[in-house]
Chain A
Amino acid sequence: MTAAIETTEAGAPIKREPRFSWLWQLLRDPLGCFGLILVLLIVLAAAGADILSPYDYKALDIKARLAPPSFEHLLGTDNLGRDTFSRILHGGRIALYVALVSVGGSLVLGLILGMLAGYGPRWLDNLLMLLFDAVRAFPVIMFALAVITVVGPSLETIIFVVIVTSVPGYARITRAATLSLKNTEFILAERSLGAGTVRVMVSHLLPNLIAPLLILASMDIPVVITIEAGLSFLGLGVKPPTPSWGSILNDGYSFIRNTPWLVIAGGIPLIITTLGFTFLGEAMRDVFDPKMKKDR
């Protein structure tokens, strides 16, 4: 690919990066490429779950219960004779839904709170930082268990817990970046031109903050998926008829002495997803934030 060359009014050429250069850089990293393929695989499988699944994920077939993998049932069946492959495809939807909603939510909330802490008055900064430290004092699963005791298990509970516990991470990064940008010349210049606080924050600070936050978000997705699957594995996540990788693992655990296939089948998509997003996130970090890349 060649860099497009444009000329300014004065006639001096300026080099401009090709639009998708970051994508090429990403694909040149073998692990990043591998991660991208795994992520695409999972996203496509979840999106096309209705077309791809050979059976209805709720359909019972008691005669064929706990069947091993065969051409009829690609990954075997569970204790109620439901097709595991179809359930895994639909479980991917739940996992990605939880991940997108809660990572998106914590990103936005963390961004707002972090900018407030970094740009706002000193007392607000101190108060928010103390709050974040307090939230981070909990082991995540323990906090989740306490909330579930009171509210009862559901998809919304999981999303609430994940947002509350991961906002501090995003807010801290935003705050640190805001503090370091706050007194740079371009912000001071903008303010001396009469720009209001909101304008400075939204159109000048925000674009500089978004890259590190997106990297953190892509590293966070596997963590969130793990929490959802973990809570569903404990029987405290998604409610039974809805398929989730965690509840497939839970069924598999109950029948582990009868068949190994449920546990194996339930674990594979989780491994693929977590590995995919982690490798992708690492590669993205190397591309967007070369300072972080140390002697690799």
Chain B
Amino acid sequence: MLLYTFRRLGLAVLIVCLAMLLLLAAIHMVPGDPAGIALGPRATPEMREAFKAKMGLDQPFVVQYVNFLTNVVTGDLGVDVWSNRPVSTMIGEQLPHTIALAIAGLGWSIMIGIPLGCFSAVHRNSWIDKLTGVLSVGCIAIPSFIVGLYALLLFAVNLRWFPAIGAGENGDLGDQAMHLVLPGLAVGLGWVGYLARFVRTSMLEVLGENHIRMARAYGLPRRRITYVYALKLAILPTIALLGVGVGGLISGAVFAEIIFARPGVGKMVVDAVNTRNYPIVMGGVLVTTMLFALSTLLSDLLAAWIDPRVRQGL
């Protein structure tokens, strides 16, 4: 298990480094003049050069990449082009809000999606199963920002049940929870569908296996068989899906943060794109990519911990 953990960790670090290399290469390859775009058409060539030097874009590509990596290791993500505040502190301030949103969204979808999938699998071909099947495809298909916008329109603007803007008063947990309801709904709805379908499929597979028939032959109660013995096996592919899905969750969180004017990494990055604040965008992308890599890492480790067979795979 320890060996597996180290190997998997090494792979994750390698992937993140490569991903950033790719990003910098892509940015270099596509023709574009970030300084010109940021400063507008009236900027003099000297102003552009100074701006480029400030963003570190004047150096050769390899130097930029090495600088970037060494800076990241020391926790230095550069400074905000306009306010000169360090990017790492700015991200540190915003990150908890994004993580809270992600946990809220994923949390309610796990609590509803997994039992729904189990129920559908056990009562296969009942009307509830069929309805769940159609609804979950619908939930997956509809973009999260549409869910967010419609929720904002209905529950915040028309019915006024929930607040529309912000993350709530600092320190007032109830208020903060109220502010999480609608964005969490928007981020998590697609996941309810995903999880319900996915758990149903793997549950059906597991329920057909010999040891489950054995348990049934012993006369164990059906509920105990489903939720204790079968779910443990059926949950494995779902854990992997959850890890990979955090990437989509981060993308969804960007929209939820914009729509509900919540503080968070997504909103910070979008605002930075609008003001061409290159270091903040790069810092935000790096941190979210690391978050994504971390979540796939954790889900792989969790799967390996539950199922020893997985450990031999790497």
Contacts and interface: CB of A to CB of B under 8 A. Distances in A.
B177 interface: no
Contact of B149 (A31, A134, A143, A267): A267
B269 A142 contact: yes
B143 A149 contact: no
Given A142-B289, A278-B141, A271 B146 contact: yes
B294 to A, nearest CB: 11
Q: Looking at A137, A257, A296, which has the most chain B CB atoms within 10 Å of its CB?
A: A137
Contacts of A264: 150, 153
Given A130-B18, A137-B293, A295 B273 contact: no
Contact of B285 (A143, A160, A277, A294): A143
A150 B32 contact: yes
Interface string A206-239: 0000000000000000100010011001111000
A294 B247 contact: no
Nearest to A234: B270
Given A141-B251, A142-B284, A145-B270, A150 B278 contact: yes
Contact of A294 (B37, B137, B201, B248): B201
A142 B30 contact: no
A140 B251 contact: yes
Nearest to B247: A139
Contact of B254 (A142, A147, A229, A271): A142
Interface residues of A, number: 52
Nearest to B278: A149
A86 to B, nearest CB: 21
Contacts of B277: 149
A186 interface: no
Contacts of B56: none
B142 A160 contact: no
A252 B145 CA distance: 13
B153 A147 contact: no
A74 interface: no
A270 interface: yes
A252 B247 contact: no
A282 interface: yes
B289 A271 contact: no
Given A138-B285, A146-B282, A151-B30, A274 B254 contact: no
A278 B140 contact: yes
Interface string A131-174: 10111111111110111111110000000100010000000000
A14 to B, nearest CB: 36
A134 B278 CA distance: 21
Contacts of B274: 235-236
B158 interface: yes
A256 interface: yes
B145 A233 contact: yes
A226 to B, nearest CB: 4
B27 A150 contact: yes
Contact of A141 (B201, B250, B282): B250
A256 B157 contact: yes
B153 to A, nearest CB: 5
Contact of A282 (B19, B137, B157): B137
A289 B134 CA distance: 20
A134 B18 contact: yes
Nearest to B252: A141
B124 A274 contact: no
B18 to A, nearest CB: 4
A256 B273 CA distance: 24
Nearest to B246: A139
B166 to A, nearest CB: 16
Interface string A99-142: 00000000000000000000000000000001101111111111
Interface of B: 15-16, 18-19, 21-23, 26-27, 30-32, 34, 37, 124, 133-134, 137-138, 140-143, 145-146, 149-150, 152-153, 157-158, 201, 204-205, 247-248, 250-251, 254-255, 258-259, 266, 269-270, 272-274, 276-278, 281-282, 284-285, 288-289, 292-293
Smallest CB-CB A-B distances: 5 pairs: A134-B18, A141-B251, A278-B141, A139-B250, A151-B32
Interface of A: 31, 130-131, 133-143, 145-152, 160, 164, 222, 226, 229-230, 233-236, 249, 252-253, 256-257, 260, 263-264, 267, 270-271, 274-275, 277-279, 282, 294-296
